[in-house]
Amino acid sequence: MGKKLINDPDNVVQEMIEGIVMASSQRLEKLDSYNIVVRKDAPVEKVGLVSGGGSGHEPAHAGYVGQGMLDAAVAGDVFTSPTPDAVFEAIKTVDSGNGVLLIIKNYTGDIMNFEMAAEMAEAEGIEVDQVVVNDDVAVEDSLYTTGRRGVAGTVFVHKIAGAKAAQGADLKEVKRSAEKVIKNVRTKGMAINPCQLPAAEKSTFSLEEDEMEMGIGIHGEPGTEKTKLKNVDQIVELLLADILSDLEVEAEEKVALMINGMGGTPLMELYIANRKANQLLKSKEIEIYKTYVGEFMTSLEMEGLSITILKLDDDLINLLEAESEINLL
Amino acid sequence: MVNRTKKLLLKTAAVIIENKEYLTELDAAIGDGDHGINLARGFKKLKEKLEKENFEGRDELFKLTAMTLISNVGGASGPLYGTAFLNISKVISDNKLDLDDLVEIAEESIAGIQKRGKAEAGEKTMLDTIIPAAESLKHSRANKVDLETALNNCLEKAAEGMKSTIEMQATKGRASYLGERSIGHQDPGATSSYLMIKTFIKSYLN
């Protein structure tokens, strides 16, 4: 069993949420008896934005609660969707009468629990709608799978939908902006070392010294293939090739680029990856409007990275640049 | 009757808690390695509540089980098992429990799981244990088999169903992302369903 800086595996999420709120006590608070982070000034007179999911992906999602992004983040246990009663509590807290948009990552459990919560909220007369983020090109979207997973691209949905809601747009318009991001964002990840759940005795998967897993998910769930370890330039080339063949970015189009660390990857390595990604995109004459390097959607201490590309137009650029309490860069 | 059912649910909780690591290991192979941890958390909570409170009817017991699992398990298994137990609470009576009742209970569980999960047989899920078990009960009823034999047959079919998931390729849930790589592993959901069915039947036969 690997070492961890924790007290009791059963209390990691609650203790983390308390720590997050204490770090931003002027603007955030925790709801009593739930692992939910909300804006202190909730409900704000606008469309409410609620996201959430399993814990272990920090800063997602509690780190994105603030003016210009989310109104509440619901934290489930590690890698486990939060329960319907918790999501319902978050919806009730942020609803100002203008409706609430749920931003859900595409996992069977998340969808079931958020849908049950939406049913509860609708029964109380709260207008609720939802978007499902599915940016991971590693898994095929076909009849034979649950569809693509939602990964780091979700952060762009938080940002764009958050900016739109802050401008006073209605629920339909905010949803449309979120869906526009989902349509134009793609991600692929990989790992060289797995992560271990605080309550489990073993790692979620195993890799030999000279192996890597391409297409890894953010729960340490196996990726698409195990292969011999390559150098980071070659890895970036493989990841970008899959993303670009799926997203179909033309020369001279503008994109946002995100190099996301999985939790255990040194920034040094992320910057080396970014160097190659920038070179490759430039060689294809794709204009990088903005680059984000850091940890946005992690997987505990997993060593690995993901690359996200968001195709931009003027509308998305304006929303991406909108003011927010949360600085992504 | 009510006390016997309470004991049965406590026994189920104990079995799931005992098998926490086993279920988690099965899940680590094709999912995200938390099935045992999540179910054990929910059933631990259920055990506490069952021990503390008194119950008037069996429907109350199953409703408490449902709500406890829904609000404590999370993931997909919380809503799936929760909805199954909620449906059982709607049809279970305190008077009798014969083959007709068992068929109804099995069918209601399946309906609940399908409402949430939208899965069919053969997709490498808990339904691959539960559907053959239900079919076996229906077959026994049609052939007027005695209850003890019917339950033994049902357990056998549930075990076969669970094992049949080893050769299946997952098309629902997180294991579906693995495509062919999901073949060769027994489904953790099918396994936890088997453990529950086995506990119900063994307790009943004793």
> Are A127 and A270 part of one and the same domain?
no
Confidence check: pLDDT of B95 > 60: yes
Burial of B122 (0-12, 13-18, 19+ CB in 10 A): middle
> Are A151 and A45 part of one and the same domain?
yes
Q: Which of B180, B188, B182 has its CA nearest to residue A109? A: B188
Residue A329 lies in a domain: no
- Chain A environment of B81 (Cβ under 8 Å): none
> Are A192 and A298 part of one and the same domain?
yes
Say how many CA atoms lie within 13 Å of A214 toward its Cβ. 20
Residue A325 lies in a domain: no
pLDDT classification of A287: cutoffs 50, 70, 90: very high
Quote the number of domains for chain A: 2
**Spatial contact of A270 and A298, defined as CB atoms under 8 Å apart:** no
Q: pLDDT, tens digit, for every residue of A186-233?
A: 999 999 999 988 887 677 778 889 999 999 989 877 777 899 999 999
Report the catalytic residues of A: 57, 219
Cβ–Cβ pairs < 8 A, chains A and B: 112
At residue A94, what is the residue type? Answer: V
Q: Do B79 and A77 touch (CB under 8 A)?
A: no
Average pLDDT of span A309-328: 96
Domain of A256, CATH number, reads 3.30.1180.20
Residue A327 lies in a domain: no
Pairing label, strands A303-312, A128-133: unpaired
Domain of B107, CATH number, reads 1.25.40.340
CA A135 to chain CA centroid, Å, is 10
What is the rounded CA–CA span in Å between residue B202 and residue B154? 11
Q: Which of B28, B70, B71 sits opposite A204 (nearest CB)?
A: B28
> Are A170 and A295 part of one and the same domain?
no
Q: Do A85 and B32 touch (CB under 8 A)?
A: no
> Are A153 and A216 part of one and the same domain?
no
Q: Do A83 and B73 touch (CB under 8 A)?
A: yes
Q: pLDDT, tens digit, for every residue of A29-67?
A: 999 999 999 999 999 999 999 999 999 999 999 999 999
At residue A171, what is the residue type? Answer: L
- Chain B environment of A220 (Cβ under 8 Å): 32-33
Say how many CA atoms lie within 13 Å of A270 toward its Cβ. 24
What is the rounded CA–CA span in Å between residue A189 and residue A309? 12
> Are A82 and A215 part of one and the same domain?
no
What is the rounded CA–CA span in Å between residue A196 and residue A200? 7
Report pTM.
Answer: 0.87
Mean pLDDT over the full length of chain B:
93
What is the rounded CA–CA span in Å between residue A78 and residue A109? 13
> Are A306 and A265 part of one and the same domain?
yes
Question: Residue A214 to residues A235, B28, B116: CA-CA distances in angstroms?
Answer: 9, 17, 31
The tokens for B57 are: 């009817």
Q: pLDDT, tens digit, for every residue of B76-90?
A: 899 999 999 999 999
DSSP A70: B
- Chain A environment of B17 (Cβ under 8 Å): none
> Are A15 and A151 part of one and the same domain?
yes
Domain that holds residue B23: 2-205
State which of A154, A183, A212 marks the end of a domain. Answer: A183
> Are A203 and A153 part of one and the same domain?
no
A 10 A CB-CB count for A5 gives 4
Q: Do B178 and A222 touch (CB under 8 A)?
A: yes
Question: Residue A12 to residues A18, A260, B31: CA-CA distances in angstroms?
Answer: 10, 23, 22
Domain of A20, CATH number, reads 3.40.50.10440
Q: Which of A149, A199, A201 sits opposite B177 (nearest CB)?
A: A149
Quote the number of domains for chain B: 1
Question: Residue A246 to residues A50, A222, B103: CA-CA distances in angstroms?
Answer: 29, 21, 48
Backbone angles phi, psi at A27, to 5 degrees: -125, -10
Domain that holds residue A296: 185-320
Supply the pLDDT for residue A140.
Answer: 73
State which of A167, A183, A199 marks the end of a domain. Answer: A183
What is the rounded CA–CA span in Å between residue B47 and residue B69? 11
> Are A42 and A115 part of one and the same domain?
yes
State which of A183, A214, A244 marks the end of a domain. Answer: A183
Supply the pLDDT for residue B177.
Answer: 77
Supply the pLDDT for residue A141.
Answer: 65
